[in-house]
Each structure stands twice: as C-alpha cells, then as structure tokens.
Amino acid sequence: MTTTSGTADPRNLPKSGAITPEERKVIFASSLGTIFEWYDFYLYGSLAPIIAKQFFIGDPTTTFIFALLAFAAGFIVRPFGALVFGRLGDMIGRKYTFLITILIMGASTFIVGLLPGHEAIGIAAPIILVSLRILQGLALGGEYGGAATYVAEHAPNGKRGSFTAWIQTTATLGLFLSLLVILGTRTAIGEKEFAAWGWRVPFLVSVLLLGVSVWIRLSMNESPAFAKMKAEGRTSKAPLSEAFGQWRNLKVVILALVGLTMGQAVVWYTGQFYALFFMTQVLKVDGANANILTAISLALATPFFIFFGMLSDKVGRKWIILGGCVLAAATYFPLFGALTHYGNPALETALQNSPVVVIADQESCHFQFNLTGQKKFPSSCDIATGMLSLASVNYTTQAGPAGSVAKIKIGDKEITSFNATMTPDGLNFDKSSKETEAALKKEVGAAIKGAGYPAKADESQMNKPMMVAVLFILVLYVTMVYGPIAAMLVEMFPTRIRYTSMSLPYHIGNGWFGGLLPTISFALVAFKGDIYYGLWYPIIIALITAVIGALFVSETKDNNIYAND
C-alpha cells in the first residue's frame, strides 16, 4: 500500500491549487468517453426482457434467467479484461489502452443492433449474442481502471476524491443516457414496434457515440505520473507477477475486494439495476414508467457522487463507503416494501390476503440458478414455482408424497402442475409439454386473478412522487459507496502496477458479485417463494464488506500515490 513518504508529485501542484484548464479537459474527456462506454454496456441490461424473447427459447422462467445470464456474462469476464488491459496500461500507458477498449466496446454494441434473432438464424443467435457480451465485458474490464488511474494521476494532492468522483458518475450517467434513448425510441414508435424491431435503435445509435468517444480519446495526453516513470525507464516489465505474485501487494488486492468493492458492487446494482428489474418484473410496472421513474431518481441523485467524492477528501474515504453499505443493508427490506406499496398497492393487498401453497416432493424443488445455462429445471415443482415467481405471487411450499406431481393451491382451487420432457438438443420443451404448459399457465393465471393478483400495475393507483423518493434513497446509497471508491483504490497501489492492481478487485467485485446479482436474486425468489427474498444476497455481502473493511482496511486519503515506485 502506498504511504505518505516517497517520490514527490511530478506535477508540483499545491494542495489548494485551483483547477486548471488542462485538468478540466482531462476530467471532461475521460468522463465523457466512459459515459458512452457504460451506455453501450447497460443497453442490454435495460432491455433484457425484450432480448430474452428475441434470442432465447423455452419456458418464460428459463428464457428470462438465460437472458440475465447473458447479461451476467459481460460481468463474469470483466476481471480477465482487467488483467489483459491492466497489464498493457502499466506497460505501454493509460491513454492508448483505454482507446483500444472503447473501440472493442463500440463495435460489439453496434453488431448487437444488427444481429438476427433466434427465428432467423437459430442457435447461432444466442451464441453470437453471448460472445458479443463477453467482448463488451473484456473491454469494460480494461476501461474503468484506466480512466480512474488517468484522472487520479492528473489530480492535485487533496483533490483526488473530487476529481475521480466525476468518473464515478459515468456508470450512472451511462445508464441514464441508455434509459433516455430507450424511452425516446419507445415513445416515437410505440411499444409494439419497439418490441418487434425498435429495441435495435439504441444499439445502432451507439456508433455515433463511438465516433465522438474515439475523437476525444485521441486528443488526450498521457498521465504525467506514467510519462515521468516511462521517461526514467521505471515502468514494470511484469505487472501481473508484481501485482499478484508478491504477498505484500496481493494482500492489499484481497482486502480491496472483500473489504471495499464487493459490498460497493451489490449496493450499486441493487440501487439501480435490481430496483429497475423489481419494478418491471415483480411489480409489473410498464417499461416506460419504470424507465422514467428511474431516470428521474438518477438525475436527482447523481450530484451526490461529486458531493461524497469531495467529502472524502476532507473526512476520508473508508467510513463513507462502509457507512453506505450498512445503511443499505439495514433499510433494503422496508424500502422495497415501500416500492411495492406505492407502485402496485393491489399486489401488496393480494400478497397479504391471498396466500398460495405449492404442495410437492421437496426433492423435486431446486434452486434455479446455473452459471453455464446447461442445466434445465423441468420438474413439476420448478415449473410451478417459476410460473408463480414470474407472476409476482408469494407462496409457501408444503411437503408432498415422494415422486408426486406438484400441486398449486390458490384459495379453494387446487391446480396440478406437470413434469416436462425435453427435446434432444436440451434447449426447449417438446410440443406436448408446450401445450400442457400453456394450459397450466392459463389456469394458474385465472386463479391468481380471482385471488386479487393484478396482471400489471395500475398506473392510476401509483404514487409516482413517493416511488421516485424511494428510488432516490436507493441511488443515494450508491453515491456513498461509489463516489469515493476510485480515489481509494488508486491510493492503495504504487504507480508502476496501479492499473493492474486496482482493476482486478474492482472488476471481481463489480463483475462477479454485482453483475450476478439480478440472476442470483431472481433465483432466490423462485426458490423461496417470497418476492423480497432476493434482497438477502446484497444485504449479506454488504455486511461482510462492512465488517472486513472496518477491521482491516486502512484510510488512504493522505497517501502519496507516487510513493514506492
């Protein structure tokens, strides 16, 4: 970990020095290019329900989980992108490395907009889609560490938090921009056309953003810290072995993951992405309203990234980040309960007054999460629980006889599920199963409707201002944990291996613990039968980070980031 002694700041800037035009250009250019890259990456997440129907086949539960897994694929490979591009960034420089990453990201996003669906090219469609998501993940794995390091190495002492906080706004602003483009396209052509072909427009528009981003990146100079080190011949020849092959640095990498980025990641994805999934998939709020409400909350909360970044320059980074984790863990259940209360009060009433019971052989009920997507869940219990989860119905399970077919008890009605058979390619139910599934879905739908469960949220009953207030609080937690994190990670590692060292824990935390959150949470809901049960995942991870961070992670705001080079 860097200390307060060692090499002097090569910029020779005073702690209280005013921001210079060159610094403004660095912040603006780095932030704007990174916003566009996040825009590209998050289009898929915002459109996952539509993409599921275009590229995946099977029952609704399985296709949606597969769509989330394809979304997660981009996150799973991010640490590998961090290794590849982090190594390049520490060897050849920050500027050219994240110029390469944005080219990969932009090209992959544009191709998604052109990619034919499953009906046109069959199994090749999801394979190509997942491959493009992997390329996007690799590119993003090299982007963040480069941008954060680049800006921090331009920042005067005492202002790294406020400077890098602008980079921290880019993920949220990228999501915000993607929601605006999606909303604008939906409004212009209508929901029916958007679901058929209009969803491609936001992907295709990204080529314009790519051109602007490349032009901006080409106009930037190398960071002064790296340029000085390169001129003196002190760059690392083997950044991977220096970063991860020596315990002195490796233990800091581990602490950065478990004591900082792991908890930060689940708070980020719960407050922004899972909240959006929860509104559209659980509360059945239509996509346009969910996007508008989310966009408003993002716009209101985004300035707080800068606020907490600046505050961290004065009071320190550590306790702001860990405080955000604790607040989030303590309030997620009441906040998501409030989101249900204000977003779909009819659903809230049905959940309280119309209990549903699944009677099944407990051996046939599985936790429906599978990282590779190869395992299927065709048992009668899994079909029943998956169907109820998609309908946002809470249920309890009751043990039935061994080998029995699951039954769904809704009020005084008892509906028998079925065990599906699979086609030889293992990708879809056969014809008879599809017909049986359709009949079951119709019967269950009629029963839950009779029990008071709404098919969709009634806009006239929504309290939109209160929904925005709840979403604002969720994003405020995001700004607490995310605003100071870039400066803190930069300050934990020496210049010669900084890009590599900070990128890996950041992208394991955000790529794996955060990126898999929607899939894991949805699977938890389907397994337990409680629409709020998926919140246990981010709560537990955030609390682990709070404890480890409080005990073992040191404050970094006064560290000399040029020490030990």
Question: What is the model's pLDDT at position 58?
Answer: 59
CA distances from 141 to 89, 146, 184, 449 (A): 12, 9, 29, 45
C-alpha to C-alpha distance for 104 and 143, rounded to whole angstroms: 11
Same fold for the domain at 21-343+460-552 and the one at 349-450?
Answer: no
Q: What's the residue count for the chain?
A: 565
C-alpha to C-alpha distance for 230 and 225, rounded to whole angstroms: 9
**Are the C-beta atoms of residues 551 and 322 closer than 8 Å to each other?**
no
The pLDDT tens digits of the residues spanning 196-230 come to: 899 999 999 888 888 887 887 777 777 776 777 77
**Are the C-beta atoms of residues 264 and 489 closer than 8 Å to each other?**
no
The DSSP call for residue 497 is G
Question: What is the model's pLDDT at position 64?
Answer: 62
Question: What is the model's pLDDT at position 244?
Answer: 87
pTM for this one?
A: 0.81
**Are the C-beta atoms of residues 165 and 127 closer than 8 Å to each other?**
no
Give the sheet arrangement for strand 413-416, strand by strand. Answer: 395-399, 356-360, 407-410, 413-416
**Which residue ranges of the chain lie beneath pLDDT 50?**
3-6, 12-16, 372-374, 424-428
Classify each residue of 142-167 as buried b or exposed e, where b means 16 or more C-beta atoms within 10 Å of its C-beta: bbbbbbbbbbbbbbbbbbbbbbbbbb
Q: Which of 57, 142, 49 is nearest to 95 (CA)?
A: 142
Question: What is the model's pLDDT at position 441?
Answer: 86
Helix ranges, 219-358 (H): 224-231, 239-244, 247-256, 262-269, 275-277, 287-301, 303-315, 318-343, 345-353
Q: Which of 82, 188, 51, 50 is nearest to 489 (CA)?
A: 82
Q: Which of 71, 54, 69 is nearest to 114 (CA)?
A: 54
Report strand pairing: 407-410 vs 413-416: antiparallel
Classify each residue of 395-411 as buried b or exposed e, where b means 16 or more C-beta atoms within 10 Å of its C-beta: bebeebeeeebbbbbbe
CATH of domain 349-450: 3.40.30
C-alpha to C-alpha distance for 224 and 230, rounded to whole angstroms: 10
Q: Residue 50 burial by CB count (10 A; 0-12/13-18/19+): exposed, middle or buried? A: middle
Domain positions in the chain are 21-343+460-552, 349-450
Question: What is the model's pLDDT at position 16?
Answer: 45
Question: What is the model's pLDDT at position 5?
Answer: 41
111 Cβ contact list (under 8 Å, min separation 6): 132
φ, ψ at 270 (rounded to 5°): -70, -45
Which one of 1.10.8.100, 1.20.1250.20, 3.40.50.300, 3.30.420.40 gives the CATH number of domain 21-343+460-552? 1.20.1250.20
Element (H, E) at 95: helix 94-114
